[in-house]
Amino acid sequence: MEILMILTVGVLFTVATYMILSKSMLRVIIGVVILSHGAHLLFLTLSGLKQGAPPLLGEEASAYTDPLPQALILTAIVIGFGITAFMLVLAYRTYKAHKTDNLDELRGTEDE
Amino acid sequence: MNNLVILPILIPLLMGVILIFFKDSKSVQRTVSVISVGLMIAVSAYLTYIVYTEGIQTTELGDWPAPFGIVLVADLLSSSLVALSSLLSLVCLFFAYQTFSAERERNFFHPFFLFLMVGVNGSFLTGDLFNLFVFFEVMLISSFILISMGSKQYQLRESLKYVIINTVSSMFFVAAIAYIYGVTGTLNMADLAVKIGELEQTGVISVIAVLFLFVFGTKSAIFPLYYWLPHSYFAPPAAIAALFGGLLTKVGVYTIMRTYTLIFPHDQTVFQILLIFGGLTMFIGVLGAVSQFDFKRILAVHIVSQVGYMIMGIGIFTPLAIAGTFYFLAHNIIVKSALFLFAGVAEKITGTSHLKQMSGLLKTHPYVGWLFLITALSLAGIPPLSGFFGKFALIIAGFDAGNYFVIAVSLATGVLTLFSMMKIFMTSFWGEVKMPDPQAKDKKVGSLLIPILPLVALTILLGVAAEPFMQFSLELAEQLMDPSEYINSVLNKE
């Protein structure tokens, strides 16, 4: 299972890198979102997938699953959600102001 | 256990939330934010005093014992940086009052300003790696909003890049935290220091250390990850640019200092990488500054070059070098923001920040000119101003450690820094009076200078009274170089 998860993470990082390097604003943002999913999945996998009973009072088991990564990933997902919403609005405003979503046309300074 | 440690985070957080409800009342907004920043200064100064006299203070949040719960730690480095950043935020706030339009203030400038301080203070004070990520995000999302506020064309497109680059590096931060949690099973920094010291597989640790360097390097703009900075710090108005230039990159430098002294001090290769990147950062940064012809842009590119000095100091990694790094960091927070504010003043007078379009400011506004000169010379490292002593300590430390090449680079950078600062002074302050706005001569800017004065006074004071400050930096460096006090006070081992 771990191998499969790690491979998925690898695919997600690859796709995200490809998307972030493209020239359309929206694709870049989708790339960032996929990158965040990759990072969260990596966290879940590296800290050990299900290793025993849920860590609840009253559960009698020899091993318990570590609850910390899930709490942390939840926090990271919420943060990522907020930032994605902000990024989309900012991208829309940029598009309205510049009439283009091609990042190649959104660079340089007046001096050049 | 001392609850004082959480106050610099709690005060701006509560006040910021309250201010959201008073969006339309300018006087309430202003009073409450000045009061809260004033409180922050008082609390953090007192905290620094307590730490200095009684040693490291910690707070266990929710009373969970240390390696399991989140812990806030105030040592000399973090408490003095909190004090400095609170002071700086007060200065920028007063400058903002005189330059901002009413509309900008009504659109939630104050709450996000305070939330930014929550993030900055929290990043300085936290003792937990994931909590550091959270405070980074609090700081970043407030900075996203402050940097894009106003929605000019140029501002929008540059803030979009700023947002994307910072978000990507944050995602790598999560990945780095995942790796380190996978290897050690803990995220408490003191606990990490103990566990990594006991580990034998150093290869994995090197990879993690480099990943963290990528993350913090992007935030602190070291070579080759600095490209976003010059454009995005040019976009916002002076008061915000001053706050960003003074604080945000320095938070990145602080995290490098903290993690590399505490968690990864065993890894020699990483320190070599830091030395090389430090040298490249300062030299390429200053070349960028030399080639620019815009007041604010020169200052923005200079941030990169100055960060290089600090990275070099961490790379040398002796007590004297760390002391020099801190001294330089404190000096840079003060001087860099003062220079950005001067750029704001010059822009207010002439209506432009392009050097070729303004000259003769010294004739029309002599005080602005001379105060700018003092600050610019301090940045270039002319004795007896504060910039000299920071660089001096770094260079002596470099000689002691035998890193001659990087020292040579830093000296060359110093000369070029002086050159680019003099370029600003000569083109915009000397010469015949020439400004795009014909009424510019008679504009009164005395009230704009008042908030900058404390910063100029501080850079002179840091230089003239260098002895006690250097003593303080040396004590701070000893605390950093020997993390056992930090570890013991966090994990309650006596």
Name the one residue in this structure whose structure tokens are 């602190």. Answer: B220
| Residues B156, A32: C-beta atoms closer than 8 Å | no
Domain with A26 in it: 2-49+66-103
Q: Residues near B31 by Cβ (< 8 Å), separated by ≥ 6?
A: none
Residue at A60 is within a domain: no
Residues from chain A that touch B144, judged by Cβ atoms under 8 A, are 83, 86, 90
| Chain B CB within 8 Å of residue A90 CB | yes
State ipTM. 0.94
Distance in angstroms (rounded) separating the CA atoms of residues B235 and B451:
22
CB contact under 8 A, B167 and A87: yes
- Which residue among A46, A48, A93 sits closest to B151, beta carbon to beta carbon? A93
pLDDT band at residue A24 using 50, 70 and 90 as cut-offs: very high
Which domain, by its residues, includes B382? 3-491
Supply B120's token pair.
């900055």
Residue A56, in any domain of the structure: no
What does the alpha-carbon distance between residue A4 and residue B138 come to, in Å, rounded to a whole number?
34
Give the residue carrying structure tokens 């490809």.
A18
d(C-alpha B255, C-alpha B414), whole Å: 25
Averaged pLDDT of chain A: 89
What integer pLDDT is reported at residue B18 of this predicted model? 93
CATH code for the domain in which residue A13 is found: 1.10.287
Specify burial of residue B224 (Cβ count, 10 A radius: 0-12, 13-18, 19+).
exposed
Query: Facing residues of B294 across strands?
Result: B354
pLDDT for B1 equals 67
Give the integer Cα–Cα distance in Å for B33 and B416.
Answer: 39
Q: Tell me the residue ranges of DSSP E strands in B14-153.
A: 57-60, 71-74
User: Residue B311 has what pLDDT?
Assistant: 93
- First-to-last CA distance in chain B? 14
Q: Judge whether B62 is closer than 8 Å to chain A, CB to CB.
A: no
Report the number of distinct structural domains present in chain A: 1
Q: CA–CA distance from B271 to each of B17, B37, B40, B109, B416 (Å)? A: 42, 37, 35, 40, 26
Domain assignment of residue A112, yes or no: no
Token pair in block for residue B173: 């931060």
Contact indicator for B192, B186 with CB cutoff of 8 Å: yes
pLDDT-derived band at A112 (thresholds 50, 70, 90) equals very low
Residue A76 lies in a domain: yes
Query: pLDDT tens across A47-87, in order?
Result: 888 777 888 888 788 888 888 889 999 999 999 999 999 99
The alpha carbon of residue B165 is apart from the nearest alpha carbon of chain A, in Å, by: 9
Please tell me the pTM assigned to this model.
0.94
Q: Are A20 and A32 in contact (CB under 8 A)?
A: yes
The secondary structure of B161-216 as a DSSP string is HHHHHHHHHHHHHHHHHHHHHHHHS--BHHHHHHHHHH---HHHHHHHHHHHHHHH
- Does residue A12 belong to any structural domain of this protein? yes
What six digits make up the tokens of B73? 């730690």
Residue A111 maps to a domain: no
Flag if B174 and A111 touch (Cβ within 8 Å).
no
Number of other CB atoms surrounding residue B268 within 10 Å: 11
For residue A26, is it within any domain? yes
B266 Cβ neighbours under 8 A, 6+ residues apart:
B196, B197, B202, B205
| Cβ B117 vs Cβ B150: under 8 Å | no
> Does B137 contact A42 at a Cβ distance shorter than 8 Å?
no
CB B379 within 8 A of CB B421: yes
Q: Based on the number of CB atoms within 10 Å of its own CB, is B471 exposed (0-12), middle (13-18) or buried (19 or more)?
A: exposed
Contact state of B159 with A90 under an 8 Å Cβ cutoff: yes
Is A58 a member of any domain? Answer: no
Q: Which letter, b or e, does each residue of B178-216 get, where b requires 16 or more Cβ atoms within 10 Å of its Cβ?
A: bbbbbbbebbbbbbbbbbbeeeeeeeebbebbbbbbbbb
Residue ranges, chain B, pLDDT below 70: 1, 201, 493-494
What is the model's pLDDT at position A110?
55
The tally of domains found in chain B comes to 1
